[in-house]
Amino acid sequence: MALKVGMLTSGGDAQGLNPAMRGVSRALWNNNPDTKILGFLNGYHGLMHANYRHMQDHDFSGILTLGGTILGTSRQSFKFVNDPLYDNQPEGITRLEAMIQTYNDLALDALVILGGGGTQKTANLLSQKGCNIIHLPKTIDNDISGTDLSFGFQSAVNIATEVIDGIHSTALSHSRVFIVELMGNKVGWLTLHAGIASGADIILIPEIPYTPIKVFQALQTREMEKKRFSIIAIAEGARSIDEVDLDEYELKESRKSIHSVAYHLQNQLEELLIKEIRVCVPGHFQRGGKPSAFDRVLTTKLGVEAANAVIEGDFGKMIGVVGQKTVRVPLQKVSGVTKWVPLDDPVLLAAREMGISFGD
């Protein structure tokens, strides 16, 4: 009997969602051309409201190089999955119950969910409630436990690297200090890798609280070495040593309504440094554009392995990659677990040995 498989993309968009779905669908149809694939629109909202379309082979044609997601996406906070589906009906069905009801009403054999850490927690909850779930790890932050890489990460590294590459010439021409703020609210994988790849002189990440005077001293050292410019790559979630224990409200208050950490650092350094300081915040540009060749290969591997897990009935798993091999990791083992940059990470240690400052 042919399988009926649902598929959705949830959370922030990232390069690689389309080729991952392509890998899943092509492998499922190659196994059985009669497989039915239902694509839920706009993430978990589509699952809640039974908003879906029957996918055909041509829907997945020509999307290998396409960024974003053909199904659309939205953010559905895990904190609110047990809230009422409709705010004006507080005694009505919850969002989680609506998802499960759609799953059961459509008699799905499996649901393949593509998304990051928050998406994964809801996926795990659905799995615990009896739904047959397979999760594919997507995030440019690369902060999902149980896999060496999440897709979207390498594409974002490439883009962030190109941004900083482009800063070099203008920084050199004007003898300036440039602060480039990259994405990474909790972890610093993206800033670490893009900073090294682009030749940043100082890299500031959430895992290593910085001291403004240490950053200043690193800049002064470059001045003494007759270097004409300096580039600081800073993750959006980086904090100074004095801000580590502050909650979000206290942090905003301490920064005097300056929400961008790059501009906050600029203010801190301008009190110490004579040199001109400029800020560049590429923002969502890092999520956009076509997936890199690396991510196209990675998502194809992960998508095919997800299809195999569905065919074999091996559910409640995240499909990851360790070394060169795809792995199936129990969702219960990794759900809600953040993969931080360890202080003994080989890439980080190599950066230190090259003389790159981390502001500590």
Residue 295 annotated in active site? no
Do 21 and 135 belong together in one domain?
Answer: yes
The pLDDT value recorded for residue 90 is: 67
pTM of the model: 0.93
Do 98 and 9 belong together in one domain?
Answer: yes
Do 201 and 114 belong together in one domain?
Answer: no
Do 325 and 228 belong together in one domain?
Answer: no
Q: Crossing angle for the helix pair 293-312 and 153-174, nearest 10 degrees?
A: 160
Question: Residue 169 domain-assigned?
Answer: yes
Burial of 281 (0-12, 13-18, 19+ CB in 10 A): middle
Question: Residue 358 domain-assigned?
Answer: no
Question: Residue 345 domain-assigned?
Answer: no
Do 139 and 8 belong together in one domain?
Answer: yes
Do 243 and 260 belong together in one domain?
Answer: yes
Do 10 and 128 belong together in one domain?
Answer: yes
Do 182 and 235 belong together in one domain?
Answer: yes
Do 314 and 181 belong together in one domain?
Answer: no
Do 166 and 183 belong together in one domain?
Answer: yes
- CATH number of the domain where residue 72 is located: 3.40.50.450
Catalytic residue among 13, 141, 143, 295: 141
Question: Residue 343 domain-assigned?
Answer: no
- CATH number of the domain where residue 263 is located: 3.40.50.460
Select from 285, 321, 322 the least CA-distant residue to 305. Answer: 321
190 in Cβ contact with 235 (< 8 Å): yes
Question: Residue 136 domain-assigned?
Answer: yes
Question: Residue 350 domain-assigned?
Answer: no
Per the listing, tokens 């792995």 go with 327
Q: What is the 3-state secondary structure (H, E, C) of the chain?
A: CCCEEEEEECCCCCCCHHHHHHHHHHHHHHHCCCCEEEEECCCHHHHHCCCEEECCHHHHCCCCCCCCCCCCCCCCCHHHCCCECCCCCCCCCEHHHHHHHHHHHCCCCEEEEEECHHHHHHHHHHHHCCCCEEEEEECCCCCECCCCCCECHHHHHHHHHHHHHHHHHHHHHHCCEEEEEECCCCCCHHHHHHHHHCCCCEEECCCCCECHHHHHHHHHHHHHCCCCCEEEEEECCCCECCCCCCCHHHHHHHCCCCCCHHHHHHHHHHCCCCCCEEEECCHHHHHCCCCCHHHHHHHHHHHHHHHHHHHHCCCCEEEEEECCEEEEEEHHHHCCCECCCCCCCHHHHHHHHCCCECCC
Question: Residue 356 domain-assigned?
Answer: no
* Tally of domains in the chain: 2
Question: Residue 355 domain-assigned?
Answer: no
Domain that holds residue 278: 156-287
98 in Cβ contact with 49 (< 8 Å): yes
How many residues make up the chain in this entry? 360
Do 257 and 271 belong together in one domain?
Answer: yes
Do 62 and 140 belong together in one domain?
Answer: yes
Q: What is the pLDDT along the chain (360 residues), one digit of tens a residue?
A: 799 999 999 998 899 999 999 999 999 999 999 999 999 999 999 999 999 999 999 999 999 999 999 999 988 888 888 888 887 676 789 999 999 999 999 999 999 999 999 999 999 999 999 999 999 999 999 999 999 999 999 999 999 999 999 998 888 888 789 999 999 989 999 999 999 999 999 999 999 999 999 999 999 999 888 888 899 999 999 999 988 888 888 878 788 777 799 999 998 898 887 778 899 999 888 988 999 999 999 999 999 999 999 999 999 999 999 998 999 999 999 999 999 999 999 999 999 999 999 999
